[in-house]
Amino acid sequence: MNPLPFIVAAYAVIVGGLGAYVVLLWRRLARARAELDQAAPSADPPRDDG
């Protein structure tokens, strides 16, 4: 049996999956930071500096 398709499938899914997860993490992190920037000013009570 020719192992080449199995080698390609193993490496492609693992290396590609790692890359895809990194990109997904970046996007989720950017979205969460944008949500925080939106939510924080309206949720924080106004500062009373006296």
Partner 1 sequence: MTEVLTRVLGWAGLLAVAAATAYALFGVPADLNQGDAQRIMYVHVPAAWLAYLSFGVTALGGIGWLWKRDLRFDWLALAGAEIGVMFTFFTLWAGAMWGRPVWGVFYQWEDPRILSTTILLALYIGYLLLRRLTDDPVRRANRAAVVGIVAALDIPITHFSVEWWRGLHQGPTIGSPERVLDPAAPGQFVLTLLAMLAAFTIAWAYLVVRRYQLAAVQARVDEAARRGSLAAARAAAEGGVPRVVTE
Binding site for partner 1 (CB under 8 A): 1-4, 6-7, 9-11, 13-15, 17-18, 21-22, 25-26, 28-29, 32-33, 35-36, 39-40, 42-45
If the CB atoms of residues 20 and 49 are measured against partner 1, the closer one turns out to be 20
- Residue bearing tokens 């009570």: 45
If the CB atoms of residues 3 and 50 are measured against partner 1, the closer one turns out to be 3
Cα angle, residue 44 at apex, residues 26 and 31 outer, rounded to 5°: 15
| Residue at 45: amino acid letter | P
If the CB atoms of residues 37 and 49 are measured against partner 1, the closer one turns out to be 37
Cα–Cα separations (whole angstroms), residue 40 to 4, 36, 50: 53, 6, 22
